[in-house]
Amino acid sequence: MKKTINISLGGIVFHIEEDAHQKLSDYLTAISNSMQGSEGQSEIMADIEARIAELLQPKVNDFKQVITITEVQEVIGIMGDPQEFATGTSDAKKEEPINTSEKGRYQYGQRRIFRDPDDKVLGGVCSGIAYHFGIDPIWIRLGFGLSFFLGGFSMLLYILLLIIIPKARTAAEKLEMRGQPVDINNIRKIIEEDMQDFKKKAKDFGDDMKNWKTRSRTQQFEKNVGDFFSSLGHGIGGLVGGIVKGIVTFIGIILVIIFSCMFIALVASLWTGMNVVHIQTHDGHMMAYSVHSLFTMLAIHGREKMMLLVGFFLFLGVPLIALILRFGRAIMGVRQSPRWINMSLFFVWFAGLIILLGGTMFAAKHFSINGHTTDEAKFTLPSHSNTLYLKMPDRNDDEDVSVRIDSLNFYVSDNDLFRGNPSLCIVTSPDSNFHFVLNKWARGTNAEEAKDAANSIEYSFTQRDSSLQLSPYYQISDGAPWRTQKLEGVLEIPLNKAIDMPIGIDHIICSTVHHQHKHLGGHKWMMSQQGLVADSTKNN
Amino acid sequence: MEIENTKAQMRKGVLEFCILCILSEKDAYPSEIIEAMKNAKLIVVEGTLYPLLMRLKNEGQLGYEWKESTSGPPRKYYKLTPAGKEFLNGLHTSWQELVDSVNQIAKQYSPNTL
């Protein structure tokens, strides 16, 4: 079963099978090209079409209604080689035809890259590239074949090229693929090749090319002076055009390489354990974290993690692919991109956006509810003293912290435990005792989770005699997720008792009862009815 | 292949002359001209004819008119213009001269005499 097409030829309607139609239209194109630029071309074409119609008409009747490839071949046999048409008119010998719009594409010797449907293993990519560089396809195939085993990226590259490079469908495209001029002899050759075994013909190819070159050279000698000057102008124009094209191609290649590297980096960072976040620690070390370790640290697992990864990958990856395709096409001189590719790229990107937003929403739910717990410690000073000596080591001396972002109050210890600076409030005690209250906050999916997360805050302080030793950091217990835990220590000081503040404590003081001085650190303070006042009394 | 090519070149040189001769007898449309030339074994394929007709027309040797056909669409009938007739007379003379000269050379230098 074959599809038929209705055509009108010389004013008569024919049903013609698809392959026969392709052949006939190739043939007519070949004839038309052979007469390109000659006077009365369209008129001759009309005459020829009328004659072909006349020849085909007796071949159809009520019982046989369809033109097949056999009839077309017969007619072509009667009408003769497209070459015959060319030699009849001296005009047709002109090298630069007037019709430039079509000719610009078919500059002689100019190659465009196509996939070769006649010589393919998978998609004809390798043989197309081989034609482009004028080498045997076996080398390209070998290269691809070997690199398939060495790494996955050549597979990616092959698929990319399969999408970018169009298939050579018409005779003219096959000629462009081989870098032959789209002239009549070559089109004829292609049509003949379609009937014969292509691979056998390919061997004679080199010889044909030589013949063609000598022929075009002798034609060059016949040119008159006017032609010489016009070709000179054409040559200079061509040179400038060539340089511009070269620069554009060069920039295009650079861009494709850059975008490809970005894409590879994206794949590697999301789907392999490659380290992507590098943080310089305060002592000059570089700490590296992969995306996966970041997810682990933030305790985002399962569905949300998958959604975020996939969404992020599509959201960034698809535009990169689109850019690579765009510039890849530009380099290879492939003009239009199939509509379905652009459409599907857009849909995939949009799906990625939705997935990313969904994943972000699910992940954000872990931080939706605030939770709070309180621990309280009460202690009394020894009888001989009424001053509490507060002590806190300088946080800069803590060797244990590997990641430290002071502005975000975000720290990670060497054993991957999260830390933070507590804040400290000074208030008046309701009774005669010192109290130290720890307010812990965290977030979670629900109140219970938030409370659990808050409870995971560990803070160490020790009281000995009249001194209270505070740690500069609180820490989230091992295994607990990071849920924006915060710790506020409230130190309650009874009236008429004093506190000795260490230097460097000011950065954690959040709010306090009224005091005259801006800085508390390095001074001794007495709790009075009016709040903290500087205590000048010498104390043992 | 080589000999075929040369033969084709030789034929092509005289095709215009032959077309003009055929048309000098009566007006004809392309298929008739093709028929006549095929009978004389002058052309093998029809494609050659159309560009030649067009060129002769453009040079003013030929004109054409459309005539209704009993079978199918109207046909283009070619005929000689007065300029074409004059041109043909000139060609007749030079053809005779050419045939004489070529025959003479061909006889004088034929492979048999070597």
Q: What is the mean pLDDT of residues A203-226?
A: 51
Cα Dmax for chain B: 59
Paired residues of A475 in beta bridges: A419, A458
| Number of alpha carbons in the 13 Å side-chain half-sphere of residue A539 | 18
Top mean pLDDT of A33-42, A275-284, A496-505 is at A496-505
Q: How confident is the model at residue A517, as a pLDDT?
A: 56
C-alpha–C-alpha distance, residues A501 and A114, integer Å: 79
Distance (Å) from the C-alpha of residue A14 to the closest C-alpha of chain B?
13
Q: How confident is the model at residue A210, as a pLDDT?
A: 52
Q: Mark residue A2 as left, alpha or beta (left: phi above 0; alpha: psi -120 to 50; beta: remaining).
A: beta
Count of pairs with CB atoms under 8 A, one residue in A, one in B: 75
C-alpha–C-alpha distance, residues B52 and B103, integer Å: 27
Pick from A132-146, A268-282, A342-356: least confident: A268-282
Q: How confident is the model at residue A95, as a pLDDT?
A: 37
| Residue contact A78–B46, C-beta within 8 A | yes
Q: How confident is the model at residue A366, as a pLDDT?
A: 81
Strand A418-420, strand A410-413: pairing:
antiparallel
Give the count of beta carbons closer than 10 Å to the beta carbon of residue A207: 9
pLDDT in tens, A67-80: 888 888 888 888 88
Q: How confident is the model at residue A418, as a pLDDT?
A: 72
Averaged in consecutive runs of 10 residues, what is the pLDDT profile of chain B (114 residues)? Answer: 71 82 86 84 76 84 83 81 88 88 85 58
Q: What is the mean pLDDT of residues A301-326?
A: 85
Distance (Å) from the C-alpha of residue B55 to the closest C-alpha of chain A?
6
Q: How confident is the model at residue A466 (pLDDT cuts 50, 70, 90)?
A: confident
Strand A498-500, strand A387-391: pairing:
parallel
Residues of B in contact with A77 (CB under 8 A): 45
**Chain B residues with CB-CB distance to A under 8 A?**
12, 30-31, 44-55, 57-58, 72-73, 76
**Residue length, chain B?**
114
Which CATH number characterizes residue B15's domain?
1.10.10.10
Check residue A63 and report its DSSP letter.
S
| Residue contact B73–A86, C-beta within 8 A | no
One-letter-per-residue 3-state SS of B35-102: HHHHHCCCCCCHHHHHHHHHHHHHCCCEEEEEECCCCCCCEEEEEECHHHHHHHHHHHHHHHHHHHHH
**Residue B90: which domain range?**
2-113
Which residue in chain B has the smallest CA separation from A56? B72
| Number of alpha carbons in the 13 Å side-chain half-sphere of residue B49 | 26
- Mutation for testing the B interface, residue in A36, A44, A76, A185 having most B CBs under 10 Å: A44
Please give the full DSSP string across A461-502, using - where no structure is assigned. Answer: EEEETTEEEE-S-EEEPTTPPP---EEEEEEEE-TT-EEEPP
C-alpha–C-alpha distance, residues B51 and B64, integer Å: 15
C-alpha–C-alpha distance, residues B53 and A44, integer Å: 9
Pick from A53-57, A363-367, A502-506, B89-93: least confident: A502-506
Which amino acid appears at position A302 of this protein? Answer: G
pLDDT in tens, A82-115: 766 765 444 333 333 333 333 333 344 456 778 8
C-alpha–C-alpha distance, residues A531 and A525, integer Å: 9
The structural domain count of chain B equals: 1
Which residue in chain A has the smallest CA separation from B75? A50
Q: How confident is the model at residue A400, as a pLDDT?
A: 63
| Residue A143 Cα distances to A10, A92, A123, A534, angstroms | 52, 44, 16, 82
Strand A387-391, strand A531-534: pairing:
unpaired
**Residue length, chain A?**
540
Q: Is the dihedral of CA B84, B89, B90, B92 positive or negative?
A: positive
CB B107 within 8 A of CB B56: no
Residues of B in contact with A86 (CB under 8 A): 51
pLDDT at residue A279 greater than cutoff 70: no
Q: How confident is the model at residue A407, as a pLDDT?
A: 62
**Among A29, A96, A185, A45, which Cα is nearest to B51's?**
A45
Task: Find the CB nearest B47 among A50, A57, A79.
Answer: A79
pLDDT at residue A216 greater than cutoff 80: no
Task: Find the CB nearest B30 among A40, A51, A81.
Answer: A51
Please give the full DSSP string across A368-434, using - where no structure is assigned. Answer: SEEEEEEEEEEE---TT--EEEEE---GGG-TTEEEEEGGGTEEEETTS-EEE--EEEEEE-SSSSE
Residues of B in contact with A85 (CB under 8 A): 47-48, 50-51
Q: How confident is the model at residue A283, as a pLDDT?
A: 57
Higher pLDDT, A218 or A508: A508
| Residue contact B46–A54, C-beta within 8 A | no
Q: What are phi and psi of A188, to 5 degrees?
A: -60, -40
- Helices marked H in A35-124: 41-56, 69-79, 82-88, 100-103
